[in-house]
Amino acid sequence: MFRHACFLCKIITIVAIIGALNWGLVGLAGYNLVDELFGVGSVAARIIYSLVGLSGLGLLAGFFMDCPVCNKGPLDKY
């Protein structure tokens, strides 16, 4: 499925996965990698959290409409 996705879909998915892994670390180990690398409340950390949030919205939109670039939804079989 992921092999045939457009570049935009791949980037959105990768950023969302990175955000999910960070939240997994927070939930399981109490360790926030983004805050550790960039500082708590720093501009860089806020940008990263914003990108993860936008990626999540992009994935959510894919449940209701096809990607305008590759014309495929994330749940389509390739």
Domain assignment present for residue 19? The answer is no
Range of the domain at 43: 30-66
User: Measured at the alpha carbon of residue 32, what is the angle toward residues 15 and 38, in degrees to the nearest 5?
Assistant: 75
pLDDT per residue as tens digits for the range 51-74: 999 999 999 988 888 877 777 555
Q: Is residue 54 part of a domain?
A: yes
- On whether residue 57 sits in a domain, the answer given is yes
To the nearest whole number, what is the mean pLDDT of the chain? 88
Cα end-to-end span (Å), the chain = 6
46 is a domain residue: yes
Give how many domains the chain has, as a whole number: 1
Unique residue bearing structure tokens 């499925």: 1
DSSP for 45-65, written as a single string? HHHHHHHHHHHHHHHHHTTTS
Q: What is the pTM of this model?
A: 0.79
Asked if the structure places residue 49 within a domain, the reply is yes
